[in-house]
Every structure is written in structure tokens, then in C-alpha cells.
Copies of this chain bind each other. A is one copy, B any other.
Amino acid sequence: MNHDPQNTQQRSSLPIGIFDSGVGGLTVYRALHNRLPNERFIYLGDTARVPYGTKSLATVERYAIENSSFLASRGIKLLVVACNTASALALPKIRESIGIDVVGVIGPGARKAVALTKSQAAPKIAVIATEATVSSGAYADSIRAASSGAEILQTACPLFVPLAEENWIEEPETRSIASRYLEEVKRFGPQVLVLGCTHYPILRKIIQETVGDDVILIDSGEATAEEVEKLLEDKGLGNREQITYNRERRLCDDLDHFYVTDAADRFARVAERFLGASPTRLEAIEVYGSDGLET
């Protein structure tokens, strides 16, 4: 990283890039926005190729690098990979391919889980995530890297994503499905439960009620926002202009720029459900050329 003061000052005024496979990363955007109201954000939702959770390593890596390069070309000071699957599978390749700091959502969620269970005699951490994230073992690896002693349980909850996108956040069917998925977690009896998929905070209320109030839920997006705040401070990269001067900062206002690779209208609709606001600046960008099949 460049430590030339003038260059650092120039870089500090750049926005923070965020990419996700689709709409789920909006919960990470919300967490970043709430914690860092004096920063601008550029969000890319790869809605033409969502979901990543059922795709292979090679494909997720390729998509992640393309998304990262797009955001880097727009001028950003830091990249947040809001997609758990891409964070689990593609962080090393993304870091190789772009010359800026990259923060994923898995490391921060794992470290926060460890910090919150450190004082326990028998720390127990549960993680719920997509099938791809669970199979990757990325959360378990990150937790073990931060604390060798914790007992870990990971469970996939595939129906939570479509339920969140349907906005079935109070429905009895969602409660019943949550009971099934979280039965093993309840038996395990963890002190903390990591919401290891960006969609899951949308179902936070039902998840909390299902596992009980004794279990602390960790939103990986919020943990990520805390680490991003610290990183900006350490590197002197916090924005020095007062962008909120004389105006109120709101989610999805014109200081933030949203791109999607497809179906902008659907994205705006789901953003409204997730955030209570839809983007002021939203652009569908062209995916071009042939990603065609080998013939």
C-alpha cells in the first residue's frame, strides 16, 4: 500500500466498493453505511449470475475477479466482498488480481465470534450459511485460526435465501422451517450463532426467537463494518471531506452508486423490502461479448 501522504489524501476521498452476487449484500451495505456515514459507496450486484452458492470454485473465482476489476476501474480505496460464497472461495485470487485492500465477510464474522466466546470455559460457536459456504469450511478455518479451543457446528439453511427474498419474515412457515433447520444448533447449545449468509439478517427476528435469547447472533456484515472502520483509521484512509455537511445522510441516497448486471427493477424492489429504500442512482450495466459455451 502507498504511504505517500498526498496520495493517501487523494485516495481517502474515493468511495468504498462492495460487491455481492445479488441483493443479499445490501445488508452489508446497510451495516457499512450505518457505521461510516461519512463514506461513499459503490455497490455491484451480479444479478445476471446470481446465485453463487451452488456454483463451482473456478466459476465463483472468475465471476469474483470480473466484479472486483469492474469496481477497481471505477476508482475505490477499499473493496468489501459482501458475498459469503465469494469470500469463502475467492479472496486469495481477488487479492492477487487487484492492488487495493480487500475485506471479506467471513474473517470478521469468525473473529467476532471468537472474541465474544473467549471468556467461556467451553466456547461453542455455531454457523449457519449456504451449502457452498458450509462445504468450503471457510468459517471453521477462520474460527480455528483465531482460537484453537472453540467447538464449532456448521449447518446449511438453503431455504432461508428464497424466504428472505419473498419477505416471509413473520410467516408461520418460515418459523417452522427455521425450527427444523436450527434443531441441531439448539441441541449443540452455542453461546454465539454466526449468520454466515448476507440474506439471513433479514430473518434475524425469527432466528433469534427460534434459538432463544441466550444465543448471541452475529451479523457478519456488522462485524465487517467494524473491521473496515478500523482499517480506514489505521491506514489514514477515512474520508476527510465532510460529505454529510448541511445534509442528512440516508440509505440509498445519491451519494451511493448501485450497479447491477441484470434486472434493475427487481433489484430496486428487493432493496425496498430489505432497506426500506431503493437506490437513487441505479444502473444496469451491460454484460457483453460471448461467455458462450465452448463449441
Bitwise, A245-283 to B at CB < 8 A (1) or not (0) is 000000000000000011100100000000000000000
Contact A166 B176 (CB under 8 A): no
Partner of A292, one of B173, B266, B289, B292: B289
* Copies of this chain, whole number: 2
> Within A48-80, which residues are at the interface with B (CB < 8 Å)?
48-50, 54-56, 59, 66-67, 69-70, 73
The interface residues of chain B lying within 8 Å CB-to-CB of A69 are 292-293, 295
- Interface centre among A66, A176, A287, by most chain B C-beta atoms within 10 angstroms, is A287
Cα of A266 to Cα of B263 in the assembled complex, Å: 26
Q: List 20 A-B contacts (CB under 8 A).
A: A49-B49, A55-B263, A56-B263, A56-B284, A59-B262, A66-B290, A67-B293, A69-B292, A69-B293, A172-B176, A173-B173, A173-B180, A261-B293, A286-B293, A287-B291, A287-B292, A287-B293, A287-B294, A289-B291, A291-B292
Per CB-CB distance, the 5 closest pairs between chain A and chain B, nearest first, are A291-B291, A70-B293, A66-B292, A73-B295, A162-B162
